[in-house]
C-alpha cells in the first residue's frame, strides 16, 4: 500500500492517480473528506489527518510500502525557513 499526503494538491493528486491506474493500493491523506472523494471513488482509501498529528500520521503510515510526504509551506509561520 502506498500513502500519499497532500493528495488533493498538484503533485500528490497526480501521483495518487498514476498509482491507482497501475492497480496499486493507495491511501490518500488530506484535511478534507470532501476533497478526497474523487480519489476515493477511483479506489483510494481516504484518510483525513493533519500532518502535525503524530498519532494520526502513525496510523496513516502503518503498513505502507512507500510514502510520498508532501508538506506544503506555511507562509504564516514566524520562522518560515525553520518550518
Confidence bin at 81 (pLDDT 50/70/90): low
Say what the pLDDT of residue 71 is: 77
Higher pLDDT, residue 71 or 52: 52
Instruction: Give per-residue pLDDT as tens, 6-31.
Output: 999 999 999 999 999 999 999 999 98
- Residues 66, 16 contacting (CB under 8 angstroms): no
For 7, left (φ over 0), alpha (ψ -120 to 50), or beta? alpha
Domain 2-71 falls in which CATH fold?
Answer: Rossmann fold (3.40.50)
Amino acid at each position: 500500500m502506498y500513502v500519499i499526503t497532500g493528495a488533493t494538491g498538484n503533485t500528490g493528486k497526480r501521483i495518487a492517480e498514476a498509482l491507482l491506474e497501475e492497480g496499486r493500493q493507495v491511501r490518500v491523506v488530506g484535511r478534507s473528506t470532501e476533497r478526497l472523494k474523487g480519489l476515493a471513488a477511483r479506489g483510494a482509501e481516504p484518510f483525513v489527518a493533519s500532518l502535525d498529528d503524530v498519532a494520526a500520521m502513525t496510523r496513516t503510515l502503518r503498513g505502507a510500502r512507500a510514502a510520498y510526504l508532501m508538506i506544503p509551506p506555511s507562509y504564516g509561520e514566524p520562522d518560515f525557513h525553520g518550518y
